[in-house]
Amino acid sequence: MKLNIEGLLVYFPYDYIYPEQYSYMLELKRTLDAKGHGVLEMPSGTGKTISLLSLIVAYQRAFPLEVTKLIYCSRTVPEIEKVVEELRKLMEFYTKETGESNNFLALALSSRKNLCIHPEILHANIVVYSYHYLLDPKIADLVSKELAKKSVVVFDEAHNIDNVCIDSMSVNITRRTLDRCQTNVDTLQNTIHKIKETDAAKLREEYRRLVEGLKEANVARETDIYLANPVLPDEILQEAVPGSIRTAEHFVGFMRRFLEYLKSRLRVQHVVQESAPQFLKDIFEKVCIDRKPLRFCAERLQSLLRTLEIADIADFSAVTLISNFATLVSTYSQGFTIIIEPFEDRTPTIANPVLHFSCMDPSIAIKPVFQRFQSVVITSGTLSPLDIYPRILDFRPVTMASFTMTLARTCLCPLIVGRGNDQVALSSKFETREDFAVIRNYGNLLLEMSAIVPDGIVAFFTSYVYMENIVASWYEQGILENIQRNKLIFIETQDAAETSMALEKYQEACENGRGAILLSVARGKVSEGIDFVHHYGRAVIMFGVPYVYTQSRILKARLEYLRDQFQIRENDFLTFDAMRHAAQCVGRAIRGKTDYGLMIFADKRYARADKRGKLPRWIQEHINDGSLNLTVDEAVQLSKHFLRQMAQPFRQEDQLGLSLLTLEQLESEEMLQKITQIAHQT
């Protein structure tokens, strides 16, 4: 159908539209009009992707000078494929409606085997790829640096974007890394020797270039061709590479010295935590390495690798990592911390020293993106509370909106179970973690649910350790045996192959009527990437509040930083983080309007306003006072009722006019008024 969105003609490749899709497009258009950034939350399964694509493509056609390119970033390869599929549908619709073959060029970058390096890609109108191509400085430099300024960047499924940013800027160095780096450096030295004998002129040429400095790069940045690389700060571009690392041999020698220093730092018996300036001071005192050459390390290595014409850069990942570390540590005095741990927390007897150079400020990695592109849209099914994202990513959005699902029938049923049948308070908090009464009641909850929920149930625990403890305890109490009478039990483990095997069998059991329970862990693979459509997930049970492991030093450092720099209290951030993961977990069950599912929050703490208020609005609006602090029995009764209601026949006609609209219905005065209420401005 053809839509008119505030004067913009939008081709929408379906005959029906959800009201919230229309509303979403409205907000999106306003964002583009204002040339600003936006934060938009809309539940999964309501057609976010197609709304985004239709509107932005229409916008590009209407104002080709305002918006030249759409950069669509998604998380995983299947998601990218889904986007491409929708895009194809849209393009076919365009061809059919306008009668002309379109000259739109879209490009998807998924993996190396599909990688295209044809220069034409620079002119593609739409680019779809993974976050890392834009955020990870190492890859961004290769792929994204020449993208035009007038692009619209969309981050889909962006609820974890801060962690992606942090991961892309953080460096972990182990003994293994250092050993491999040592080998790299040796190879470099040998190659230099060889080249020196055969083609000394080449090295001289490089030297000359380095004396002239990185002027070229500077010119490029000023004339606005490249995306800024956070590893390559502005100051570097204005200066020449310092003399001490200008010749190849000197540089290799320099790297050796730096490597030896790192090795000595890893020989520690106790945990060390220091800031970047402290580290620099120490390195200067011990091995006389100055800050300046360190800062040029990454650039100098790139230059050397180019000069030596080394084809397979992957072999040199270790030395590249170390040189990136050198540059980062000497460039940013704030926002990073260095933690050296002699062993892992779980295995205090095995020496396995790690140097964590950890980024605490996600805005560092994403800053160039916000600065460069005129519109950046962050969107996901779960982005609540919306206002925290601009704060931790340090940007100013022009639109922030949360959309709800309009439903012809209430197809989600969030229940907060706070007590067992014996009135024992259910909670995963530390003090009661070992409490048998709590564990027994959790077991009872799962048992009762396994008897009344058809097909698949997914249960999430807060951590692997917690899950192991509970399952062992259930086994001893005979609860597992009882559950197995109703359903088969599968468990997610840290082994990826084992987990995918379990998942496959789980789906088979759901398919053929035996019924199954999948026990998994919030923040694990299952909770993030896998959808449990329809019968694969009729209920999700969240045992406890999935707080992150708070004893980790990296986390502590980050919390401190957030408090000092962004005035976000530790507790607020921890709760926010726990709730977004809980929302992610329970959101796995509802993947569309014809789907239905129970969402059971089994912890009395969910009933508190500070937790509940941080759930996405589309879940929150279905939690009424009657579904708070229930006992297991009450929850079972409500679930039974809900499941029977949902099992009644439900056809598309029942949705029409309420949650699914034709063009005429959409254009009615009454509906337009309703639509404006869907978006929840914050």
Partner 1 sequence: MDEEPERAKRWEGGYERTWEVLKEDESGSLKATVEEILYQSKRKRVIESHGQVRLGMMRHVYVVIDCSRSMEDQDLKPNRLTSTLKLMEVFVDEYFDQNPISQVGIITTKNKRAEKLTDLAGNPKKHITALKKAVDTVCVGEPSLYNSLNLAIQTLKHMPGHTSREILIILSSLTTCDPANIYELIKTLKSLKVRVSVIGLSAEVRVCTVLTRETGGSYHVILDESHFKELLMLHIKPPPASSSSECSLIRMGFPQHTIASVTDQDAKPSFSMSHLDSSSGPGLSLGGYLCPQCHATYTELPVECKVCGLTLVSAPHLARSFHHLFPLQAFVESPVENLQGDRFCQACQAELKDKSVSG
Residue numbers at the binding site for partner 1 (CB under 8 A)? 406-410, 451-455, 485-487, 510-515, 534-535, 538, 626, 633-634, 637-638, 640-641, 643-651, 654, 658, 674
Pick the closer one to partner 1 by CB: 19 or 397.
19
* CA-wise closest residue to 161 among 256, 57, 74, 219: 74
Nearby residues of 548 by Cβ (< 8 Å), 6 or more positions away: 523, 555, 574, 577, 578
Where do the DSSP E strands lie in 84-239? 106-109, 126-130, 151-155, 171-174
- The nearer residue to partner 1, 14 or 650, going by C-beta atoms, is 650
The beta-strand segments (E) located in 462-618 are 488-491, 516-521, 539-543, 597-602
**Is 138 exposed, middle or buried, given 0-12, 13-18 or 19+ CB atoms closer than 10 A?**
middle
Question: Closest approach of Cβ 498 to partner 1, in Å?
Answer: 24
What's the min distance (Å) between Cβ of 444 and partner 1?
16
Closest to partner 1 by CB, 456 or 546? 456
Choice between 198 and 423, CB closer to partner 1: 423
What H or E segment, with its residue span, contains residue 354? Answer: strand 354-359
Nearest distance from C-beta of residue 50 to partner 1, angstroms: 23
Minimum distance of partner 1 from residue 489's CB (angstroms): 13
Q: Do the beta carbons of residue 486 and residue 515 sit within 8 Å?
A: yes
| Cβ pair 360, 558 in contact under 8 A | yes
Q: Between residues 183 and 652, which has the closer beta carbon with respect to partner 1?
A: 652
Torsion angle in degrees (nearest 10) through CA of 49, 50, 54, 56:
0
Q: Which residue has the tokens 């063009």?
A: 663
Shortest Å distance, C-beta 87 to partner 1 = 32
Task: Please report how close the Cβ of residue 649 comes to partner 1 at its closest, in angstroms.
Answer: 6
Of 158 and 510, nearer to partner 1 (C-beta) is: 510
- Torsion angle defined by CA atoms of residues 125, 128, 129 and 130, in that order, rounded to the nearest 10 degrees: 130
Q: Pick between residue 253 and residue 454 the one whose CB is nearest to partner 1.
A: 454
Smaller CB distance to partner 1: residue 4 or 410?
A: 410
Q: What share of the chain is helix, strand, coil (3-state, %, to 5)?
A: 55, 15, 30
Report, in Å, the least distance between residue 321 CB and partner 1.
Answer: 48
The neighbour count for residue 8, using CB atoms within 10 Å, is 18
Q: Which is nearer to partner 1, 223 or 648 (CB)?
A: 648
Cα end-to-end distance, the chain, whole Å: 31
**Residue 28 and residue 67 in contact, taking contact as beta carbons nearer than 8 Å:** no
Tell me which residue of 14, 3, 10 sits closest to 32, measured CA to CA.
10
Judging by DSSP bridges, how do beta strands 2-5 and 630-631 pair with one another? unpaired
Least distance CB 440 / partner 1 (angstroms):
22
